[in-house]
Amino acid sequence: MNYSKIIKRFLNFKEKGLFLTLLFLVIFLMIAIPSFFTVKNLLNIGRQNGLLAIMSLGMGLIIISGNIDISVGSIYGLSGVVAALVLQETGYTLLALLSGLSIGIIIGAINGFLVEKIKMPSFIATFGMMYVARGVALLITKGFPVVLLLKGINSDTHPVFYFLGQGFLFNKIPIHLIYMLIAFLILSVIFHKTIFGMHIYAVGGSEKAAYVSGIKVKSIRFITFVIVGVLSSFAGISALSYMGSILPTAGTGIELQCIAAVLIGGVSFSGGTGSMLGVLLGVFILGIVKNGLVLFGVGSFYEVAIIGIITIFAVSYDSLSSQKGKSEVY
């Protein structure tokens, strides 16, 4: 075994800071809380963060491309609500799934249209859509939660639908964790192996150079909005399936958690840099901290403040280290 080679590779590994942070957290919690490092708890962390991870990977995609999408939480909520209502009215699982996913496609396409055709700043366009989608969810439910179980839609009548949110692989691995792995693998391949992925970096890093080089800047960004929409929809439907009911306000604030995870994962807010692995590590750093707080018995109010503190810490570390070597002041 050539150890020096392995060490060298690790030192060139871009996400090593995040990886070490995660490792440190795990070791610290292992020592501090015996119940932390159990298969049950670790799988639990995976399940709790699987859906957030799917959406964060999408958010990472969009931030790397130089935009932002803060309507993801509303897409999550509206998709869940629409899928629930369709299932309630028709009883068809496939129809419910497709109608839920179409919400993500439609809102993603509207976001893309507003940003790339009307040339609105992405923050403002998706800010508007965040309210529109949430409003629609409240209107079609009249503000009441949709409870599938009350209408007799349960895991006996609709086993496939409930498997989507409550299933386990090999009776052990929660399906949310599987979704996360699949989304991670697909997006990683797109980013690192396809020209489309390379163009997302190019557009996020140097928009004008990309345009002059013949890259279809608008189409690429349009597609990223649709991808994020679909991922958020899927997360919303899975959440519905997991709980058997959904509130019209479901997913409120989840967009900010996604942004936090993406920033902690080392994606530059101005676009052009970052990786899917980084985002995934960011999600788990956040998830493990939250889990640790619960195990310590600290109230959930701390959680909110701590997300902020970790984000600020992570980004200031990034900002400081990226200034190294170019200390010119303009």
Partner 1 sequence: MNPLIKFKNISKSYPGTQALEDVSFEVKEGEIHGIVGENGAGKSTLLKIVGGEIINYEGEIFFNGKVRRFRNPNETLRAGINVVHQELNLCPNLNLVQNIFLGRELRINNNIGRADWTEMRKQSNKYLEILSLKLSLDEPIKNFTIAEQQLVEIIKSISANGRVIVMDEPTSSLNSEEVERLFNLLRKINAAGVTIIFVSHRLEEVLKITDRVSVLRNGKYINTLDTKQANENTIVKLMTGNIVLHKNKRGKLIFKKEVFRVEGLTRKNTFFDINFILHEGEILGIAGLEGSGRYALVRALFGILPYDSGKVYLFGNEIEINTPRKAIERGIGFISRDRKLEGIFHIMDLIQNITIVMSLDDVIKKENKYKDVSKLYVNELKIKCRSVSQKINSLSGGNQQKSIVARWLAKSSKIMIMEEPTRGIDVATKAEIFQIIRRLSEKGNSFIIVSSELSELINEFDKIVIMRRGKMAGEVETTNTTEEEIMSMATGISYTKS
Least CB distance from residue 275 to partner 1, whole Å? 12
313 binds partner 1 (CB under 8 A): no
Q: Can you tell me which of 53, 164, 215, 239 binds partner 1, judged by CB under 8 A?
A: 215
The single-letter DSSP state of residue 21 is: H
CA distance 152 to 81: 17
Paired tokens of 130: 């965040």
Choose between 151 and 218: whose C-beta lies nearer to partner 1: 218
Least CB distance from residue 329 to partner 1, whole Å? 6
Choose between 88 and 188: whose C-beta lies nearer to partner 1: 188
Paired tokens of 77: 């909520």
CA distance 168 to 175: 5
**What's the Rg (C-alpha) of the chain?**
21
Choose between 217 and 260: whose C-beta lies nearer to partner 1: 217
198 binds partner 1 (CB under 8 A): yes
Q: Long-range contacts made by residues 141-144, C-beta under 8 angstroms, separation at least 24?
A: 141/81, 141/85, 141/248, 143/248, 144/248
201 binds partner 1 (CB under 8 A): yes
Q: Can you tell me which of 39, 195, 305, 320 binds partner 1, judged by CB under 8 A?
A: 195
Choose between 55 and 223: whose C-beta lies nearer to partner 1: 223
CA distance 234 to 244: 15
List Cβ neighbours of 241 (8 Å cut-off, separation of 6 or more): 161, 162, 163, 164, 165, 166
222 binds partner 1 (CB under 8 A): no
Residue 246's SS3 state is strand
CA distance 139 to 119: 29
Element (DSSP H or E) covering residue 146: strand 146-147
114 and 120 in contact (C-beta within 8 Å)? yes
299 binds partner 1 (CB under 8 A): no
232 binds partner 1 (CB under 8 A): no
320 binds partner 1 (CB under 8 A): no
Q: Can you tell me which of 1, 142, 297, 325 binds partner 1, judged by CB under 8 A?
A: 325
Least CB distance from residue 193 to partner 1, whole Å? 6
Q: Can you tell me which of 7, 27, 94, 209 binds partner 1, judged by CB under 8 A?
A: 209
List Cβ neighbours of 226 (8 Å cut-off, separation of 6 or more): 104, 105, 108, 109, 112
Footprint on residues 40-59 left by partner 1 (CB under 8 A):
none
Binding pattern to partner 1, positions 247-276, x when CB under 8 A?
Answer: -------------------------xx---
117 binds partner 1 (CB under 8 A): no
Q: Can you tell me which of 63, 103, 202, 285 binds partner 1, judged by CB under 8 A?
A: 202
Nearest to 266 by CA among 310, 222, 203, 329: 310
Least CB distance from residue 29 to partner 1, whole Å? 35
CA distance 63 to 198: 14
CA distance 263 to 315: 7
328 binds partner 1 (CB under 8 A): yes
Least CB distance from residue 320 to partner 1, whole Å? 16
Choose between 40 and 326: whose C-beta lies nearer to partner 1: 326
330 binds partner 1 (CB under 8 A): yes
Note the residues at the interface with partner 1 (CB under 8 A). 192-196, 198, 201-202, 205-206, 208-216, 272-273, 325, 327-330
